[in-house]
Structure 1
Amino acid sequence: MKTVTSREMFEIERQAIDIYGIPTSVLMENAARCVAETILKDFRFMKNERIAVLAGKGNNGGDGFAAARYLFNASPKSLTVFCPEASSIKSGTAKTNHDIIRKMGIEIKLLNEFLNEDIKNFTICVDALFGIGFSGELLGDYALIGEKVNRSFLKCYAVDVPSGLDASTGIASKNCLKSCKTITFGLAKTGFYSNDGPKVCGEILIKDIGFPKILLQ
């Protein structure tokens, strides 16, 4: 099975966007649908589920916002998105998806408010905090969020990569969010299978989000 480093995956994404003209919004929408469909397959009776979507400032967070839309439409018992201030969201495509879920009436709270939540209020966690560009340590509230999730009984689904894992080296930060499933896009990442990767990724699902096949060979 072919694996790629973060740098190699970013180059695939760049070529898909710049050379083939695939909009970031298309890749994000396809990724979000894959995440939501995986969760909906695992939990067929969504009316009993309480979902926390943890979304960051970049495109990984945008995947989380868009996935929240699909999950909300499945009518779970509750769904709350925890994210930074809208003004701090870096990606324009992510900001668009944030605006959509706000207009849909999906409950949105600041990320640090998750720390004050009773974890028993949730059954599912969607981890869309950091993507494949992450390296180093989770700090501040991010570390506390990771610790809280890892001490809970939440079913945690990682969007592309568990937050806190270096997707190239497999070295995980102390409070890297441990997933029951990692839903990754295009190709598996090298770090999933080395160092701490196998301990935090859970089951690895490789999903097709529309990259030209030639770029993945």
Structure 2
Amino acid sequence: MEKVTSKQMNLIDSFCIKAIGIPGIVLMENAALKVIKNIDLNSYNNFTIVAGVGNNGGDGLAIGRHLSVLGKNVNVFVIGNVRHGSKDFVTNYSILRNMNIHIHHILEREDLKHLQKSVRSSEMVIDAIFGTGLSRNIEGLFERTISIINKSDNFILSVDIPSGLSSDTGEILNTCIKADKTVTFQLLKKGLVENSGEKYAGEIVVEPIGMPKIAIEKGLRNF
């Protein structure tokens, strides 16, 4: 199976959106539905979703919407400055607000108490904090948030890549989600199978999200 770097994946994503005309929100919706497909909905009813404010976080919010529509109990947490959110993150954030789904914000250490309580009452935690573009060490509230998730006994599912894992090298950027399962999109990310990748990713599932062959070939050829 073809393994890609974060830059290659960005090129493919950009070609899909800008050259072919597939809206990013469509790819995000496809990604969310593929994550839902990989959840045993007969076994899990209570979920905590922790989302960043980038496109990975947007995936997480879309997943939360679908779980809520399916009648599941979902607590959604957003960590990061929403005003700096990506366009498609903001779209899904607005949809949840319009559905009157309460969103908890992690802005200071006191907010972590609400996260701890939610994690204790959940059966699955969905990690959608950082995606493949992460290149800096994780510190502060983000580090504490990941620590709370990792200390839980819940099943942990990571969206695209465990938060804190380098998509290119599989190195740990100070700390990292230790997932039971990672649903990654369209192509296998190099970091998932190199260095610490497999140890932190758990079961790896690669799901197509509607990216055409021409976009994939273009992205791989031009790198």
- TM-score, length basis structure 2: 0.89
Residue 142 of structure 1 and its aligned partner are, at CA, apart by 0.7
Per the alignment, residue 7 of structure 1 pairs with 7
Give the unaligned 5+ runs of structure 1: none
SS in 2 for 1:19: helix
Give the unaligned 5+ runs of structure 2: 218-223
SS in 1 for 2:7: helix
Residue 54 of structure 1 and its aligned partner are, at CA, apart by 0.5
Q: Does 1:97 align with 2:92?
A: yes
CA distance in 2 between partners of 1:89 and 1:38 (Å): 30
Give the conservation status (yes or no) of the 8 Å contact 2:52–2:80.
no
User: Pairwise mapping of residues 9-158 of structure 1 onto structure 2 (< 5 A)?
Assistant: 9-39=9-39, 42-46=40-44, 49-76=45-72, 78-84=73-79, 87-112=82-107, 113-116=111-114, 117-118=116-117, 119-158=119-158
Residue 149 of structure 1 and its aligned partner are, at CA, apart by 1.0
Give the conservation status (yes or no) of the 8 Å contact 2:79–2:142.
no
Runs of 4+ residues deviating >3 angstroms: 84-87
Per the alignment, residue 204 of structure 1 pairs with 204
Give the conservation status (yes or no) of the 8 Å contact 2:50–2:78.
yes
CA deviations on 1:20-45 (whole Å, 9 max, x unpaired) are 11110110110111112212xx2315
CA deviations on 1:113-169 (whole Å, 9 max, x unpaired) are 244432311111111100000123211111011111111111111111110011001
CA distance in 2 between partners of 1:64 and 1:137 (Å): 22
Residue 213 of structure 1 and its aligned partner are, at CA, apart by 1.6
CA distance in 2 between partners of 1:115 and 1:145 (Å): 10
Partner AA of 1:110 in structure 2: H
Residue 174 of structure 1 and its aligned partner are, at CA, apart by 3.4
Aligned-residue sequence identity (percent) comes to: 37
Residue 84 of structure 1 and its aligned partner are, at CA, apart by 3.7
Per the alignment, residue 187 of structure 1 pairs with 187
Aligned CA RMSD, in angstroms, stands at 1.6
CA distance in 2 between partners of 1:149 and 1:87 (Å): 21
CA distance in 2 between partners of 1:65 and 1:152 (Å): 21
CA distance in 2 between partners of 1:157 and 1:190 (Å): 19
- TM-score, length basis structure 1: 0.92
Judging changes above 3 Å, is the alpha-carbon distance between structure 1 residues 5 and 148 closer, same or farther for their aligned structure 2 residues?
A: same
CA distance in 2 between partners of 1:204 and 1:171 (Å): 17
CA deviations on 1:169-200 (whole Å, 9 max, x unpaired) are 10013320111111111100001111110110
Give the conservation status (yes or no) of the 8 Å contact 1:55–1:129.
yes
Give the paired residue count.
212
CA distance in 1 between partners of 2:207 and 2:195 (Å): 23
